[in-house]
Amino acid sequence: MPDDGGAGLPAPPLLSRDEALFLDFDGTLVAIAPAPDRVQVAPELPELLHALSAMLDGAVALVSGRTVDDLARLIAPFAGALAGQHGLERRGLDGAVIRPPAEPALARLRPEFARFAARHDGVVLEDKGSGLALHYRQAPGLASACQALVRGAAEAGGDAFTVIDGKMLSELVPRRGGKGRAIAGFLAEAPFHGRTPVFVGDDTTDEDGFAEVNERGGTSVHVGGGATAARYRLADVGDVLAWLACSLVR
């Protein structure tokens, strides 16, 4: 993975009508908030997504670590495709949601994670149903402790779980997920099938999505600086929204 801080990456070309667009949410379409429930969504975002979907014949999907239900609430009334929990669950264009059963071990781990969060001011537990995330943006000094708890839970779970360390969070997720898999799944279906993929994301959790898109000859766009497999870069959320808007009027 190159590590030039993103400085050497060019801005992406504007979208073409024969592409399929995949977008991360936090840090890509909205600024990252101190806690997941405090995110601020621009009032014009749902309409922008709707316009992009019309331009691309419906081939627009959000691919996020949030749950599908949370995403749907935040970007309503946009009714497009969604992938939640890093690809573990998906909402199709028909509105049907596919959710996997939760790993049985989560029933034991939830109380342990909840006790940890309750004991440490600034740590926020996000229970996603199929996974557990500890957010420490409000308590950065507890990063190591949060990561140790999550890694210990993953090791105790054998092959059932893996760990994702994102921006100021550590997350326990089932191994069967992944944003790359979610993108591949959408590309096997209409209206995404046969289109060149574009994926925009900002975090380490998006890297397998970038790899999937690169392998298919698509456009991978990293938001912000830092090491990445993406081939293009945009500086921040404002640049992402401006780039998307410019693609509509080209």
Q: Annotated catalytic sites, by residue?
A: 24
Three-state DSSP state, 158? coil
CA–CA distance, 173 with 120 (Å, rounded to integer):
22
* Amino acid letter, residue 125: L
Sheet holding 169-174, edge to edge: 124-127, 132-135, 169-174, 161-166
Cis peptide before 77 (omega within 30 of 0): yes
Contacting residues for 114 by C-beta, under 8 A, at least 6 apart: 125
CA–CA distance, 182 with 50 (Å, rounded to integer):
21
Three-state DSSP state, 212? helix
CA–CA distance, 133 with 116 (Å, rounded to integer):
12
Q: Which two tokens stand for residue 83?
A: 């992938």
Q: Residue 16 burial by CB count (10 A; 0-12/13-18/19+): exposed, middle or buried?
A: middle
Please answer whether residues 66 and 25 qualify as being in contact, where contact means their C-beta atoms are separated by less than 8 angstroms.
yes
